[in-house]
Amino acid sequence: MKQIEKKINHLQKEIKKLKGKEIEEIRNELNKLKEIYYEKAKEKLKNKQKKEKEDENVSNLLLKEDKDIKKIINLMKKYPKNEKIQENGCFGLFQISKTNEKLLNEVLKDGIIEVIINSMNNFPNNPKIEEKSISILTKISKDLKNQNKIRKLNGIETIINIMNKFWDNEEIQEKGCWTLWNIVTSNFENKVKIRELNGIELIIKAMNKFPDNEKIQHGACGALRHIVFFNKENKIIVAELKGIEPIIKAMNKFPDNSAIQHYGIGALANIANNEKNQIEIANLKGIEIIINSMNRFSENEDIQYVSCGALMNIASSNKENRVKIRELNGIESIIKTMNKFSENPEIQNRGNGALRYLSFNNENKVEIGKLNGIETIINSMKNFPKKQNIQENGIGVLKNLSLDEENKIKIKELNGIELIQETINNWKKNKEIQNWGLKALQIIN
């Protein structure tokens, strides 16, 4: 083929120099060469197509007999535009992602993430390829290295494009939400990327489109919880897109699903860091949902942990919410949780934090005292003397509670004065502990 090409090029140059019969002779020779060239090119293309068809049949056979998945992957790399080979490859990878995690980890070394994303981009109208591909990404995106690789290969954009295209496909919406959840877990850059690509809007859209799909609601709540975690812009976006309402609706719809309760409350806890969102959560009866969940899943440590954090944030700067939590017996729920999980430092910290904000209300001060909350707070501080946050929130709430006369007596009876003095001595560099501790001693004495 190359020799013929050279000869054709040579004759085309020579014909410009000649005249008369010589031109005609060379032209005839040139035409014959072109015919030979085209025949050989057609034959080469035919052989290539034949080989591709044979390889396509090989991929079918390998898939049916459940044989070497690596061979299928090699075929996917060789024929990125062959729809059937890509479909077979995605299905084969999907199967091993469900049954053979060891083999899945092996093929990851062969650059399979890039192969999958290319397949999704090359065949955006094939729901079989998209469903299986996004399911594989759901599985492998739990790993931080894979999360970064997916982003670098523009995989987040691919996932969001597919969710947009197949907005009425429940399988794709479900796996899309779960994959985005995995991708943002402990990954700040991916949180930003998803926001920039309007991924938050798609998650909320999926929740509203499929309110009865438990798996979509579960994945979406998990995704939103992590997307807004330590990301101020994302919290604002979720609220602006009316994302608080579908979270609360999901928790109402599936009250017995502990995972939805856990991640739903976790999302509300993270969103409730500004006063506008606190008001929205209260207006949508989110406080009732949180307290109901605490009572329903009293043995579930994860739910108790996120609930104490949610009530702490919701009460942090909103007077009406502090009253609402008391009226719904939320103070009692917090104290019960702290007593039940007395060895969990995170629950103790968030419990003390919630009680500190709640105790800015005079009636709440009395309620905490009546429910033996002072004893719970003091025990918390004694059990974790080296946990600064527990000491800080604990001494803060004792300072607030000491403004009530009966509470002042109880603090004295429970050796609270000695504990406050000891905490002041142990944390001399902590301004809040010094300030609140000295004020508490001044009030009590």
pLDDT band at 7 (very low <50, low <70, confident <90, very high): low
- Given this model, what pLDDT does residue 392 score? 97
- Given this model, what pLDDT does residue 65 score? 43
pLDDT band at 280 (very low <50, low <70, confident <90, very high): very high
Integer Cα distance of 268 and 306 in angstroms:
9
| Higher local confidence (pLDDT), 146 or 336 | 336
What's the chain's average pLDDT? 89
- Among candidates 141, 116, 139, which has minimal Cα distance to 129? 116
pLDDT band at 27 (very low <50, low <70, confident <90, very high): low
pLDDT band at 58 (very low <50, low <70, confident <90, very high): very low
pLDDT band at 112 (very low <50, low <70, confident <90, very high): confident
- Among candidates 362, 306, 355, which has minimal Cα distance to 334? 355
Integer Cα distance of 394 and 437 in angstroms:
10
Judged against a pLDDT cut of 80, whether residue 110 lies above it is answered with: no
- Given this model, what pLDDT does residue 62 score? 46
CB proximity list for 159: less than 8 A, separation 6 or greater: 134, 137, 176, 179, 180, 199
Q: Amino acid identity, residue 438?
A: L
- The mean per-residue pLDDT over the stretch 2-14 comes to 61
Neighbours of 208 (CB within 10 A): 14
- The mean per-residue pLDDT over the stretch 43-70 comes to 54
Judged against a pLDDT cut of 60, whether residue 168 lies above it is answered with: yes
What DSSP assignment string belongs to 265-316? Answer: HHHHHHHTTSHHHHHHHHHTTHHHHHHHHHHHTTT-HHHHHHHHHHHHHHHS
- Given this model, what pLDDT does residue 95 score? 80
Judged against a pLDDT cut of 90, whether residue 17 lies above it is answered with: no
**CA dist 137 to 67, 94, 110, Å?**
22, 9, 15
Integer Cα distance of 356 and 34 in angstroms:
89
**CA dist 358 to 31, 41, 289, 367, 442, Å?**
94, 82, 18, 10, 22
Domain ranges of the chain: 1-46, 272-445
- Given this model, what pLDDT does residue 352 score? 98
- Among candidates 251, 317, 247, which has minimal Cα distance to 278? 317
- Given this model, what pLDDT does residue 328 score? 98
- Among candidates 229, 130, 214, which has minimal Cα distance to 179? 130
Judged against a pLDDT cut of 70, whether residue 63 lies above it is answered with: no
- The mean per-residue pLDDT over the stretch 187-216 comes to 96
- Given this model, what pLDDT does residue 274 score? 85
pLDDT in tens, 81-97: 888 888 888 888 888 78
Q: What tokens were used for 25?
A: 């002779």
Integer Cα distance of 68 and 105 in angstroms:
15
Judged against a pLDDT cut of 80, whether residue 383 lies above it is answered with: yes
pLDDT in tens, 389-425: 999 999 999 999 999 999 999 999 999 999 999 999 9
Give the distance, in angstroms, between the CA of residue 47 and the centroid of all CA atoms in the same chain: 48
User: Is 48 strand, coil or helix?
Assistant: helix
- Among candidates 418, 290, 299, 413, which has minimal Cα distance to 354? 290
User: Is 85 strand, coil or helix?
Assistant: helix
- Among candidates 98, 97, 74, which has minimal Cα distance to 86? 74
pLDDT in tens, 296-308: 999 999 999 999 9
% of the chain with per-residue pLDDT over 90? 71
- Given this model, what pLDDT does residue 259 score? 98
pLDDT in tens, 363-377: 999 999 999 999 999
Residue with tokens 């000891």: 422
Q: Which letter does DSSP use for residue 143 in this model?
A: S
CATH architecture of 272-445: Alpha Horseshoe (1.25)
- pTM of this prediction? 0.84
Judged against a pLDDT cut of 70, whether residue 182 lies above it is answered with: yes
Judged against a pLDDT cut of 60, whether residue 71 lies above it is answered with: yes
pLDDT in tens, 202-252: 999 999 999 999 999 999 999 999 999 989 999 999 999 999 999 999 999
Integer Cα distance of 206 and 173 in angstroms:
6
Integer Cα distance of 258 and 307 in angstroms:
12
Judged against a pLDDT cut of 70, whether residue 41 lies above it is answered with: no
- Given this model, what pLDDT does residue 265 score? 98
